[in-house]
Amino acid sequence: MTCCGGNIAADGAAGVSAAADFARAEELLHAGRERDDGTVEYVFSAPDIHCGACISSIERAIRPMHGIAYVRVNLSLRRVTVHLDPAATGPVEVAGALAALGFPARPVDLGDLDELERKRRDSELLKSLAVAGFASANIMLLSVSVWSGAEGATRDLFHLISALIAIPAVFYAGRVFFRSAWGALRNGRVNMDVPISLAISLATGMSLFEALTGGDKTYFEAATMLLFFLLIGRYLDQRMRERVRTAVVQLSRLSAKGANVLTDQGEMRYLPLDEIEPGMTVRVFAGDRLPVDGTVRSGLSDVDRSLVTGESLPVTAEKGTALEAGAMNLTGVLDIDVTNAADKSFLAEVQAMMEAAENGRGAYVRAADRAARLYAPFVHSLAAIAFVAWMVITGGDWHTSLYIAIALLIITCPCALGLAVPVVHVIGATRLFESGILMKDGAALERLAEANEAVFDKTGTLTTGTPTVTECAIERPGDISVARALAASSGHPASRALLTHLGNGAMARGSGIAEHPGLGVEGSFSGGRARLGRMAWVAGIAEKNGARDASGGLTFAVEGGPLLTITLGEHVRDGGAAAIGALQNAEIGTRIVSGDAAAQVARLADRLGVTEWHADQSPADKIARIEALRAQGRKVLFVGDGINDAPALAAGHVSMAPASGSDVGRTAADFVFTRDSLEAVTAARGIALRAQSLVRQNFALAFAYNVIAVPIAMAGMVTPLVAAIAMSASSIVVVLNSMRLTRGSPAPAANRPARRDRDGLAVGTGSMEAAE
């Protein structure tokens, strides 16, 4: 443990910070997208935009800038879109101007075409919804006149007009369902869209036949109304995912797309990540994460590997130290010999493990599709029975028999079932959102309700990842004011912890306070020189025969004085004990699996009352633990934050990550909680359990509906009017029942949003509201 150099936020040698800015500028330049007219489009995420006045102040300030072709603020997403002439200005100037206005902004990566693609599909769903709504409203008008007694040529005309509206509408708006049903059938599976597609296409086909042959009943309005209702459910579901995705993107930092490579001539060049090869030397500045794996060639610094390995305390990096991609360089400048290309780095390895682990979860079948597996064969065989029975009764009238069989399929079309799950999930996601929890996917809510074993990572998950002082030998007021002055001049986590521990108060005036990377802080005070930092270094000025404690913690000494040790411990996340207690009361097994050393893990496990813990776990070990639990039939909820947790997050039956975690961890997790408290875990579980019981109730309601509808249909008493009323009534009942999830205890308000994650990136309510 050391205390050390450059205040990350503020100073550092001017040349170094200029070079670091250069790297960030290069990164900015890579975030743009060229447009057809030669300008380049940049999108900045500025979470501080919150009102109409912000819009006008930003737009008025940016628009007159040289080289700006277009600027528009999006208040809903808290983004600023700028088109600029690359010859005249650059994104750095725009980011600078935004920051000067009080809106610190980060560029959003437009290379992320995936998002644009998703957006396109989203608006397609909305268009389908509009088309289905138009068709069903107009057909309903025509149908009402038929039901109220239109006859002869008028009725036939109305049927034909309905057919003209319905057929293109079904083809256009039904594509989503047909595509999904076809995909499932081709793989030999049945999902909810199979019976839906079948009912819609049979209803349309049969009605077309009736309309052309002058029959008296058509089901065009039923087919289009069904589509309309189901598309509402689909659209809400899609919007929920889009919203969460936006929120998660806002949390993630623009990851390093390149690195500063030192050439043989000693120059620094910025190269994209995929051009970096083993043998090159890369310079990493304080405050940056390592882009690739490597060993230190020169330089001295402290490196925070907590996101990489789960070690809670920073390690000293000096010549020869091997470091992994993703580790954060805290204090000094490091030159690193690249040992692995980016696609073979630790991070890439973790990603490969994640993908392998995710395959296991792919076997999960959503509740709706599980229901469809029972439902589809059931109604289809009922329809076949009805057909055969009516053939016998009517003595071979195939037209009547087929008509009744198809009417049965239409009225049992799982419209209510199709809505039963998405509506609950959407409302559940909204409730979670209010509690500061982002849900990636509706199925995650189902899996969370099933979890019966909770596995926690330690560093950054059960603890906040920032150290706190547990014991401090600095007692004399004079020493305290000197220590305070030294700690205040360093950005190292240990110094900040000491400063918090010592509290506000007098600060001794010193001169020549300097930070030595990898060693500590030194300064001259009235009582002589004083040092705060690594023991061996501090001992250099302490009294020669003082007690030497080998623990290697943070130490402080005034020249010639005794060596004073400070013991650092970890800060348990708020609500940690409460959450663990609640899980244990619910008879959910709890255990800790950490990459940190046994002593630290044991201490924390003891404090939280967790009896089962495993220390020194590699990412592969974590997966193995989860697989072992799965083999015993347990459904594992994994909560973790680091890069080393990402494979386990993907392997768990369901997983959660704090917003302060690594990008890769957040991507792998099903849920991301943005508030500090670990009670998010129990809050999410509570909502998941209520959602599960509502989904079951909805299935029961849909079943009850069928108990009534099927006999009527089999008796051949279904008319288009009965079908229209029955189907809309059952859908409305299911939606109303799902709305009950909005009631109940309000979200715990005590949890304050996490203000900053470890990168100093502002997260919390701002970015969440942004996605609303």
Instruction: Tell me the HSE value of 388 on the side-chain side, using a 13 A CA sphere.
Output: 6
Q: What are phi and psi of 495, to 5 degrees?
A: -65, -40
Q: Which is nearer to another protein, 123 or 545 (CB)?
A: 123
116 counts as binding another protein under rule CB under 8 A: no
56 part of the interface to another protein, by CB under 8 A = yes
CB of 122 to another protein, least distance (A): 10
Interaction between residue 249 and another protein (CB under 8 A): no
Is 134 a binding residue for another protein by CB under 8 A? The answer is yes
Q: Per CB under 8 A, does 511 bind another protein?
A: no
57 near another protein (CB under 8 A): no
Candidate list 9, 10, 36, 123; residue touching another protein; CB under 8 A: 123
Per-residue tokens: 2: 């050391």
Q: Is residue 76 a contact residue for another protein (CB under 8 A)?
A: yes
Residues 25-54 that bind another protein (CB under 8 A): 51-52
Q: Which of 291, 283, 289 is nearest to 328 (CA)?
A: 289
Distance between CA atoms of residues 243 and 241, nearest Å: 5
Nearer to another protein, 125 or 439 (CB): 125
> Of the ranges 126-134, 253-261, 315-323, 372-380, which one interacts with another protein (CB under 8 A)?
126-134
Count CA within 13 A, CB hemisphere, residue 713: 29
- 55 or 262, CB closer to another protein? 55
Asked if 70 is part of the footprint of another protein (rule: CB under 8 A), the reply reads: no
| Number of neighbouring beta carbons within 10 Å of residue 739 | 13
Q: Residues 35, 38, 117, 154: which binds another protein (CB under 8 A)?
A: 154
Burial 669-701 (b: 16+ CB within 10 A, else e): bbbbbbbbbbbbbbbbbbbbebbbebbebbbeb
d(CA 539, CA 562): 9
CB of 456 to another protein, least distance (A): 38
Q: Which of 73, 419, 499, 714 binds another protein (CB under 8 A)?
A: 73
Residue 19 or 126 having the CB closest to another protein: 126
**Exactly one of 92, 101, 137, 249 binds another protein (CB under 8 A); which one?**
137
User: Smallest distance from the beta carbon of 123 to another protein, in angstroms?
Assistant: 6
Active site residue 457: yes
Q: Which is nearer to another protein, 58 or 688 (CB)?
A: 58
Q: Would you say 453 and 738 are in contact if contact means Cβ atoms under 8 Å apart?
A: no
Q: What distance in Å separates the CA atoms of residue 219 and residue 196, rounded to the nearest whole number?
A: 15
Tell the smallest beta-carbon distance from residue 78 to another protein (Å): 9
Answer yes or no whether residue 266 interacts with another protein by CB under 8 A.
no
Centre a 10 Å sphere on the Cβ of residue 594 and count the other Cβ atoms it contains.
31
8-state DSSP, 83: E
Considering the rule CB under 8 A, would residue 138 count as an interface residue with another protein?
yes
In the list 7, 17, 74, 584, the residue contacting another protein (rule: CB under 8 A) is 74
User: What is the torsional sign of CA 595, 597, 598, 602?
Assistant: negative
Ramachandran category for residue 536: left, alpha or beta (phi over 0 → left; psi -120 to 50 → alpha): alpha
Q: Rank residues 126 and 578 by Cβ distance to another protein and give the closer one.
A: 126
Q: Which of residues 14 and 153 has its CB atom nearest to another protein in the complex?
A: 153
d(CA 756, CA 753): 9
Q: Report the chain's terminal Cα–Cα distance, integer Å.
A: 43
Closest-CA residue to 59 (of 70, 48, 50, 51): 70
Question: Is residue 148 part of the contact set for another protein (CB under 8 A)?
Answer: no
Catalytic residue among 288, 457, 596, 676: 457
Q: Does 161 bind another protein (CB under 8 A)?
A: yes
- As beta bridge partners, residue 259 has 271
Question: CB under 8 Å to 711, separation ≥6 — which residues?
Answer: none
Secondary element (H or E) of residue 690: helix 680-714
Which of positions 165-224 make contact with another protein (CB under 8 A)?
A: 165
CB of 322 to another protein, least distance (A): 48
Which phi and psi angles does 690 have, rounded to 5°?
-65, -40
DSSP code for 45: E
Near another protein by CB under 8 A: residue from 13, 18, 34, 75: 75
130 binds another protein (CB under 8 A): yes
Q: Report, as residue numbers or ranges, the catalytic residues.
A: 457
Which residues in this chain contact another protein in the complex, by CB under 8 A? 51-52, 55-56, 60, 63, 73-77, 123, 126-127, 130-131, 134, 137-138, 141, 154, 157, 161, 165
